[in-house]
Amino acid sequence: MGNSGTFRLYQNPGWGSAIVEAQLAVYGLPYELVAAGGTSDPAAVQEAMRGVNPVLQVPALILPGGELMTETAAMTLYLADMTGSDTLVPGATAPERAAFLRWLVFLVAAVYPSFTYADVPTRFVPADGADAFQAAVIGHRKVMWRVMETEARNGGWFLGSRFSAIDIYLAVMTHWRPGEAWFQTETPKLWAAGTAAASRPEIAPVMARNFG
């Protein structure tokens, strides 16, 4: 069943759904937000998502035609294709295209999963090893962020003079552990790109709703 041209985004404030919400806002697409469960209770989130997303994760996006989309990178590419816009995703012949795809996949395949492992480490290791496991994962996450910092181009945005969805990812993810102070000190280019993205007029209200 369709939903009259409106996207439905299953979300929790401050979660990865903010990345998709910001993109919908940039494109000016109509959308509604659906609460996905209590942020302090993973079981509540899973119950809220049961029957929506088969892997019980946030975000999930219901397209106007009723189809389900998961995975923020897939949503990023789909929304660019659907709108016919290169505002957030460099076009096929753009010089930044290869770098964009490389780092989009790096964010979702390397950095993003570390939160799955570290946020509730007892899902993966015994309780008596959880603290050490969490510390190790966060330490590796810092290494990955530093790799991105060395690859950030001069010009204000991650790709240089060109704004992209990578900067929206940074706007959201620099609010997460290891924390804003760490990013400001250790990865100033990433912090600057994310801050600039967060201050764009179409994104600022999304950031305010998600992070206060």
In this predicted model, what pLDDT tens digit does every residue of 87-121 receive, in sequence order?
999 999 999 999 999 999 999 999 999 998 998 89
Which of 13-22, 32-41, 63-72, 183-192 bottoms out in mean pLDDT, i.e. has the lowest? 32-41
Q: Evaluate if residue 48 carries a pLDDT over 80.
A: no
Which part of the chain is CATH 1.20.1050?
Answer: 97-198
Q: Evaluate if residue 187 carries a pLDDT over 90.
A: yes
Residue 37 banded pLDDT, cuts 50, 70, 90: confident
pLDDT digit string, tens, across residues 112-130: 999 989 988 998 999 999 9
CB distance 73 to 81 below 8 Å: no
Residue 34 host element (H or E): strand 31-35
Task: Please give the backbone phi and psi of residue 150, each rounded to the nearest 5 degrees, phi first.
Answer: -70, -25
How high does pLDDT run on average in the chain? Answer: 93
Alpha carbons 198 and 119: distance in angstroms, whole number:
24
Which part of the chain is CATH 3.40.30.10?
Answer: 7-87
Q: What is the CA radius of gyration of the chain?
A: 17
Please identify, in words, the CATH class of the domain defined by 97-198: mainly alpha
pLDDT at 42: 63
pLDDT at 58: 87
CB distance 208 to 25 below 8 Å: no
Return the structure tokens found at 76: 């990023």
Q: Evaluate if residue 43 carries a pLDDT over 90.
A: no
pLDDT at 38: 56
pLDDT at 57: 80
Length of the chain: 212
Residue 10 host element (H or E): strand 7-11
For the chain, what percent of residues have pLDDT higher than 90?
85
CB distance 11 to 17 below 8 Å: yes
pLDDT at 4: 62
∠ at Cα 5 (203, 73), nearest 5°?
50
Single-letter residue type at 63: L
pLDDT at 1: 36
pLDDT at 2: 41
**CATH 3.40.30.10: does it fit domain 7-87?**
yes
Under DSSP, the state recorded for 58 is S
The model's pTM is: 0.93
Under DSSP, the state recorded for 110 is I
- The mean pLDDT value for 182-200 works out to 98
- The mean pLDDT value for 3-12 works out to 87
pLDDT at 83: 97
CB distance 153 to 127 below 8 Å: no
